[in-house]
Structure 1
Amino acid sequence: MTFSICVHESYTTPDSKEHERFGVAVTTRLPGVGTLCPFVSENGAVATQSLVNIDLGRTGIEYIDDGLSVGDALESLLNTDDGAPQRQLHGVDAEETFAFSGAECGDWFGYQEGEHFTVAGNLLTGEAVIEETAAAYADAAVHETEDQTDGSPREGDGSAPLAKRLINALAAGHEQGGDKREELTVQSAAVVVESTESHDVTKLYNDLRVDATETPVADLQETYELAVDGYEATLERYAEAYEQDSLDEAAES
């Protein structure tokens, strides 16, 4: 009933500091997928779907944060889950990937593991959904590069922020048919990105959800652009206040 992508990228900032970022993007023909499927921290990304068990995502991320590899973390949870044949679970950490589809997931179901990313889906129109999602991300992946998007993500010649590239990957899969249950018109989509880098002003476009709509991916793309607008406005008006941790700096703005 869902397809999603989990990603890890490493990068450096202009001050030569090394960082990691992780993200998940997901869409389904049910409302509120952003509350159920994506789990992300500065150490990993996990998506739980098919017959959803949110404990697999929540505890999986906790295990990764505690130092377990994504494979050890998720396999250990599946080994104690009586519903494992109906689960689909995948994710990444800084070193490896993991993907699992239970034999009782709804057709079409499957997954693809790439370099630093995983894509998985079930109840899809076909394998092309997964293939195009993976290809769209792989074409735009920027592992081990320099990132200069501390200001507006629309400035400079660098790559687009991970959140935008993840949404675009969803769009590529959606164009291939996506979730096959056309009788379910209320849909949803979400994207979440975390990194080891700290910012004076939170990047508002890194945690977005569209909870109930008939056009989830298009709406998530529009929400992303509006969130960038809001981020730029926040930087313009409040950047100094955030840097000084005092609203006095913005009193005259």
Structure 2
Amino acid sequence: MTFSICVRERYTDDAGDDRVRFGVAVTTRLPGVGALCPFASEHGAVATQSHTNVKLGREGITYLADGLAVEDALDALLAADEGRERRQLHGVDADGTFAFSGDECGEWYGHRVGQNYTVAGNLLVGPEVVEDVAAAYESTAHGEAPLAERLIDALAAGHEAGGDKREDLPVQSAALRVTNTEEGDRAEPSYDDLRVDATETPIADLRETFETAVRGYEDALARYADEEE
């Protein structure tokens, strides 16, 4: 019912320190996916879907914070899950990647593990959805656009390839989260945690929400910069 992407990107912050950013984005032909599937923190990103078990995402992020590698954390959670053959679970941490698709997921289902990212989907029109999401991300992985924007581009590619095959379910949703390992008081951009919970045009609406949030964030920065002067 869903396709999603998790990514890891290394960069240098304004102080010259090496940092990592993590991102996760998801869309489905059901409302409210942002409350159930995408999870991210300064330790990694995880997506849980297909007969979604929210516990896998929440505890996966907690395990990463405890220092477990993403492969060990998510594999351990699946080993204890009696419904694991109906699950899809994938994610990234600072060093590794993990992806699992159970044998009882809805056709078409599958996943792809690339360099610094994972993509997975189920109940799709075919493998081209996952392949196009991956290709779209790879083509922008070293771009200057914000990761949130590039994640929307990746979802758009999968959506254009056919996405979720259940055309009898018009109400859809989409969400994204981006985090990083930077410390201190700097506020996270207000466009790094966005959801569109119920719409018939999830990708277009998520993009519009992102563009509006960017404008609001920049307006706020300018307003408070003027006050400080």
* Identity within the alignment, %: 64
Query: TM-score if structure 1 supplies the norm length?
Result: 0.87
For the residues of structure 2 that align with 1:95 and 1:193, how far apart are their CA atoms? 17
Structure with greater Cα Rg: 1
> Following superposition of structure 1 onto structure 2, how do residues 40-51 of structure 1 map, counting pairs within 5 Å?
40-51=40-51
CA RMSD of aligned residues (A): 1.3
3-state DSSP class of the match of 2:155? helix
State the partner residue of 2:27.
27
Aligned residues: 228
| TM-score, scaled to structure 2 | 0.96
**What is aligned with 2:182?**
197
Partner Cα distance (1:41, 1:194) in 2: 6
**Correspondence for 1:214:** 200
Unaligned stretches of 5+ residues in structure 2: none
Q: 1:180 aligns with which of 145, 165, 171?
A: 165
Looking at structure 1, the residues matched to 10 and 188 of structure 2 have their Cα atoms a distance apart, in angstroms, of 19
- Pairwise mapping of residues 1-253 of structure 1 onto structure 2 (< 5 A)? 1-142=1-142, 159-198=144-183, 200-239=186-225, 249=228
- Deviation, 1:116, is 0.5
Output one character per residue of 1:122-172: Cα deviation in whole Å (capped at 9) or x when no partner: 000010000000000011113xxxxxxxxxxxxxxx610100000100000
- Amino acid in the other structure paired with 2:41: S
Q: Deviations over 1:155-209 (max 9, x none)?
A: xxx6101000001000001000000000001000001000012463330000000
1:32-84 Cα offsets, whole Å, 9 max, x none, are 00000001001110000000000000000100111000000000000010000
Note the alpha carbon deviations across 1:79-130, whole angstroms, 9 max, x for none: 0100001000000011111000000000000000000000000000010000
Inter-partner Cα distance in structure 1 for 2:132 and 2:167 = 20
Q: Decide whether the 8 Å contact of 1:29 with 1:185 is kept in 2.
A: yes
Moved more, 126-135 or 196-205: 196-205
